[in-house]
Amino acid sequence: LLVLHHIATDGWSAPVLARDLTEAYAARQAGNAPAWSELPVQYSDYTLWQREVLGSEDDPDSPASRQLAHWKQALAELPEELALPTDRPRPAAASHRGDAVPFHLPAELHAGLARLAGENRASLFMVVQAAWATLLSRLGAGEDIPVGTPIAGRTDEALDDLVGFFVNTLVLRTDLSGNPAFTELVDRVRETSLAAHAHQDVPFERLVEVLNPTRSLARHPLFQTMLMWNNNDDRVAAEAAGGFSGLTAQTLPLGTRAAKYDLTLALKEAYAEDGTAAGLHGHLEFAADLFDRSTAESFVERFTRVLRTVVAAPGTPVADVDVMAPVERERLLSEWNDSGRDVPDATLARLFADRVAVSPEACALVFGDLAYSYGELNARANRLAHWLIEQGAGPERLVAVVLPRSPDLLVALLAVLKSGAGYVPVDPEFPEERIAHILEDAAPVLTLTGELLGGLDLSAYGFKDPAPAGVSGGNTAYVIYTSGSTGRPKGVSVSQGALVNFLTAMQDRFALTGGDRFVAVTTVGFDIAGLELFLPLLHGARVVLAPRDVVRDPVALVSLVRACGATLMQATPSLWQAMSEAGGVPEGLRVLVGGEALPASLARALAGGGRAVTNLYGPTETTIWSTAAEVTASGDVTIGGPIANTRLYVLDSGLRPVPVGVAGELYIAGAGLARGYHRRSGLSAERFVADPYGAAGTRMYRTGDLVRRTSAGDLEYIGRTDFQVKVRGFRIELGEIENAVLGHPDVGRAAVVVREDAPGDKRIVAYV
């Protein structure tokens, strides 16, 4: 057993050592000492020569200085870390546990790659490097792909027969910007590789010291993937074959179950006796901290697909190289979007009237000590609706509702819908400037305020359901205002049909009955209030409208939930956390979470105690919620799959589907799409775009959110596409900062911002 530390030998040395060993064995077997020829140089000679040739870095004209200058320029602004589609978050410190997936590329593909290399004045290694970079880019790693590769470092023939450590590591940077054809990418790789080889003498460790990237125990500096070209195994075997008289010698791979890098692609060529290509043998080593074996196997399959594509069509733009099999594409676009279901062809007002007819005496609304039956609530809303129609309310007209949390608020919303008009909900506690802008922009025919309603005598108006003409599912149900691309609130116009589709989907999931009590806590200025107020009223359940002072006091809210026997409640993770700390969330309560990312620790806490927990996600532009996921006590959090009649696409910048596990931007299509932005056709056209995967004429909404698919088809939320979170011990400040400083137009006035000790460099950590 011969054991060597890597500091004393390298891959080139292996066949040299095998030759020396077989010569020594043969000599000893014959009773002689091995008669080796004296080598022209020793390893110590090489080290002195290297120092002499490179010269001092203090000398600007020395080779060392010139080579360092090259690398400083070549690796300027190198990505700190490749965004690889990992199965798990990167740990704080790498364990270096790993495994490898062996594979074989057939002779015909080997020959095609060799032909492609020859036609483009490149080596086979360069073609493979370009293909590997293409794969990593298509898997979400971006357009700037650094790859490490070992180089023999034996630049003089006198070193060929010397056992020692000469190998160095080069960083080969691949530029995929501008979506070049694959052949153009090979040209770029060739130029970069030749320049790297011409400046190969600077030790990698010294290069790291000089470039001084952000160091981390979690990842390798400068690159996280390596490409290795192994031609030594066959040379070792050739030296050993027949060299041990009476023995059979062969090389055996030794699996170390270790991984130095996130991914290492190793390949070696095989040739037939006549010199023709016989295939490429390889393995993909992967870090077990980050990847499952099945994921590594999928990388191999995708890499093979990339190679076949570029051999068949070398002029293909790299962004168009498809890394997915047809069955995977079908699953992404169709199977996981199979959410069709029938929806009532009726407005919300009609559905509510039908429910009233079923159980007029049942309790519909509770507010403090006040309680209203379905019949009473309906009669009050009908009288107000008749008055609204008299004032000019009707289809495609808007009525603003500026009312505090009270029964009158729900009466007013129902009345507006019964009149055929759309409501514009405005929280009276909004800043005066915001309220003024909303009312000016919406241009309602009427604004309902507490003062106005308090002075009305509606006794002369009928209590039966009005029947306004021309009302359909395509009419506006409400216009709700959110922040806009200029920082000013923008109105999102949602149709009757989209609202009914959403409520139908929620009933499919939550199955409310007359015994349910839904505690409503959300301000009417937030669209998710529509779920709390309307879903119970369509199914005979009870709305428990929490007063504003109770909503603001977690202890009081917990008390209300217990006292009323609540069965469902919807809130943000922040509010659920506050309730958990203020007496606990009652066991048996159906918990609906949305509006913010759900922390795993809170998910585990909520899912205990017999509570069913649903995590919900959806932008205002797609009608309240578009996805739903059941949360288990494991704490694994996703935003799930589509609700009824909804399609979810995870796309790259070219609107192409990305594979499972790869981050992409979420686009939402289907019945829940809003009509657009009120009186802002240009912005509507920018965000509501043609759906290339749906029926002709259909649209999809660009959310601006980064997500990725799990192997089960659920979506994992990552964050926004337009800014990144960076925190490195900065001082945190809270305050009002202009949008121009924030650098993101959709951010509101209040934000948490980090600032470095040096002035001028500000980064967003989170925003409200």
Amino acid 743: pLDDT: 37
Q: Residue 287, Cβ neighbours under 10 Å: how many?
A: 28
**What is the pLDDT of the chain when averaged over all its residues?**
90
* CA angle 508–675–750, rounded 5-degree value: 90
Q: What's the CA gap between 396 and 495, in Å, rounded?
A: 10
- What percentage of the chain has pLDDT greater than the value 70? 92
How many CB atoms within 10 Å of residue 290? Answer: 24
Residue 79 identity: P
What does 609-669 look like in DSSP terms, one character per residue? TT--EEEEE--GGGSS--EEEEE-TT-----BEE-TTEEEEEE-TTSPBPPTT--EEEEEE
Q: Are 185 and 133 in contact (CB under 8 A)?
A: yes
Is 326 a residue whose pLDDT tops 50?
A: yes
Calculate mean pLDDT across residues 97-117. Answer: 97
- Confidence class of residue 734 from pLDDT cuts 50, 70 and 90? very low
Confidence of residue 673 (pLDDT cuts 50, 70, 90): very high
Beta strand pairing call for 590-593 and 613-617: parallel
Helices (H), 582-707: 600-607, 681-687
192 pLDDT more than 70: yes
Residue 405, token pair as written in the block: 């949390």
Interval 674-687 mean pLDDT: 94
Alpha carbon of residue 712 to chain centroid: 15
pLDDT of residue 748: 37
Looking at the domain assignment, is residue 570 inside a domain?
no
Choose the final residue of a domain: 277, 303, 318: 318
Angle, helix 374-390 to helix 348-358, in steps of 10 degrees = 140
3-class secondary-structure state, position 414: helix
Report, as an integer, the average pLDDT of 134-144.
95
Closest CA to 673 of 638, 645, 639, 705: 645
Tell me the angle at which helices 63-74 and 43-54 cross, rounded to the nearest 10 degrees.
Answer: 80
**40 pLDDT tier (thresholds 50, 70, 90):** confident
Residue 35 DSSP code: -
Burial track 685-695 (b if 16+ CB lie within 10 A, e otherwise): eebbeebebbe
Last residue of a domain, one of 297, 318, 339: 318
- Quickly list DSSP for 284-314: EEEETTT--HHHHHHHHHHHHHHHHHHHH-T
* Residue 664 token pair: 């992409």
pLDDT at 570: 97
Range of the domain at 738: 725-767
CA atoms of 621 and 619, how far apart (whole Å): 5
Contact 707, 715 (CB under 8 A): yes
Final residue belonging to a domain, choices 264, 298, 318: 318
Per-residue model confidence as pLDDT tens digits over 527-543: 999 999 999 999 999 99
- Mention every residue, 6+ apart, whose C-beta is less than 8 A from residue 216: none
Report the chain's C-alpha Rg in angstroms. 34
Q: Is 343 part of a structural domain of the chain?
A: no
Task: Dig out the tokens for 89 from the structure.
Answer: 């978050």
pLDDT at residue 219 tops 80: yes
Instruction: Check whether 758 has a pLDDT greater than 70.
Output: no
pLDDT recorded at residue 726: 35
In a domain, 574, yes or no: no
When comparing pLDDT for 547 and 740, which is higher?
A: 547
Specify the higher pLDDT residue, 40 or 556.
556
Please say whether the beta carbons of 265 and 284 come within 8 A: yes
Q: In this structure, are strands 168-175 and 144-151 parallel, antiparallel, or unpaired? A: antiparallel
Local structure of 627: helix, strand or coil = strand
Question: What pLDDT is stored for residue 6 in this prediction?
Answer: 87
Q: Give the CA count within 13 Å in the CB-facing half-sphere of 446.
A: 23
- Look at 39-48, 412-421, 611-620 and tell me which has the smallest mean pLDDT: 39-48
Q: 66-100: per-residue pLDDT in tens? A: 999 999 999 999 999 999 999 988 999 999 999 99
Residue 765, pLDDT above cutoff 60:
no
Interatomic CA distance for residues 100 and 49, integer angstroms: 38
732 vs 361, more confident: 361
Digit-coded pLDDT (tens) for 352-411: 999 999 999 999 999 999 999 999 999 999 999 999 999 999 999 999 999 999 999 999
* pLDDT (0 to 100) of residue 531: 98
Mean pLDDT, rounded, for 444-470? 95
State whether residue 251 is helix, strand or coil.
coil
- Label the pairing between strands 277-287 and 98-105: antiparallel
- Locate the DSSP E strands across 209-345: 225-229, 263-271, 277-287
pTM of the model: 0.86
Distance CA 750, CA 261 (A): 41
Report how far residue 354's alpha carbon sits from residue 629's, in angstroms, rounded to the nearest whole number: 30
| Cβ(188)–Cβ(318) below 8 Å | no
614 in any annotated domain: no
The total of other beta-carbon atoms located within 10 Å of residue 470's CB is 9
Sheet holding 613-617, edge to edge: 370-373, 363-367, 542-545, 517-520, 568-571, 590-593, 613-617, 627-631, 641-642
Q: How many domains does the chain have?
A: 2
Q: Write the DSSP symbol of residue 386.
A: H
Query: Which two structure tokens, joined as six digits, stand for 146?
Result: 């650094």
Strand, helix or coil for residue 171:
strand
Using an 8 Å Cβ cutoff, are 487 and 327 in contact?
Answer: no
CB 719 within 8 Å of CB 707: no
**Residue 483: what pLDDT?**
65
Q: Please report, rounded to a whole number, the percentage of residues in the chain having pLDDT higher than 90.
A: 76
The pLDDT score that the predictor gives to residue 2 is 81
**Residue 619 pLDDT:** 95
Whether residue 645 lies inside any domain: the answer is: no
> Torsions phi, psi of 480, nearest 5?
-115, 140
Of 756 and 522, the structure prediction assigns the larger pLDDT to: 522
Using alpha carbons only, give the angle 454, 455, 461 rounded to the nearest 5 degrees: 100
Q: Is pLDDT at 750 greater than 90 in this prediction?
A: no
| Segment 325-344 mean pLDDT | 96
- Residue 229 tokens read as 């070209």
- CATH number of the domain where residue 71 is located: 3.30.559.30
Residue 417 located in a structural domain: no
Averaged pLDDT for residues 441-447: 97
* Residue 558 confidence (pLDDT): 96
Alpha carbon distance 262, 97 (integer Å): 10
273-275-278-284 Cα dihedral, nearest 10 degrees: 110
Does the pLDDT at position 572 exceed 70?
Answer: yes
Contact 297, 98 (CB under 8 A): no
Residue 392 in tokens: 């000019």
Report d(CA 87, CA 286) in Å as an integer.
12
Q: Tell me how far the alpha carbon of residue 367 is from its chain's centroid.
A: 41
Query: Quick one: pLDDT at residue 152?
Result: 87
Is the confidence at residue 112, as pLDDT, over 80?
yes
- Confidence tier at 760 by pLDDT (50, 70, 90): very low
Alpha carbon distance 74, 174 (integer Å): 11
**Between residues 535 and 7, the one the model is more confident about:** 535
- State residue 752's pLDDT score: 43
Q: Work out the pLDDT band at 710, boundaries 50, 70, 90.
A: very high
Cβ atoms of residues 109 and 248 within 8 Å? no
Nearest-angstrom CA–CA distance, 435 and 431: 6
Please determine, for residue 727, whether its predicted confidence score (pLDDT) is greater than 60.
no
Residue 236, in any domain of the structure? yes
User: CB within 8 A of 736, min separation 6: which ones?
Assistant: 749, 750
Q: What's the pLDDT score for residue 233?
A: 64
Bridge partners (DSSP) of residue 676 are 493
Separation of CA 105 from chain center: 32
Instruction: Name the CA dihedral angle for 215, 54, 71, 282, rounded to a multiple of 10 degrees.
Output: -80
Looking at residue 242, what is its pLDDT?
A: 67
212 within a domain of the structure (yes/no) = yes
Q: How far is CA 579 from CA 524, 532, 575, 605, 768, in A?
A: 21, 18, 6, 12, 20
With 80 as the cut, is the pLDDT of residue 737 above it?
A: no
CA distances from 187 to 129, 310, 311, 596, 615 (A): 11, 14, 15, 46, 48
Pick 241 or 436 by higher pLDDT. Answer: 436
Whether the per-residue pLDDT at 766 is higher than 60: the answer is no
| Helix, strand and coil in the chain, % to nearest 5 | 35, 25, 40
144 CA to centre of own chain: 19
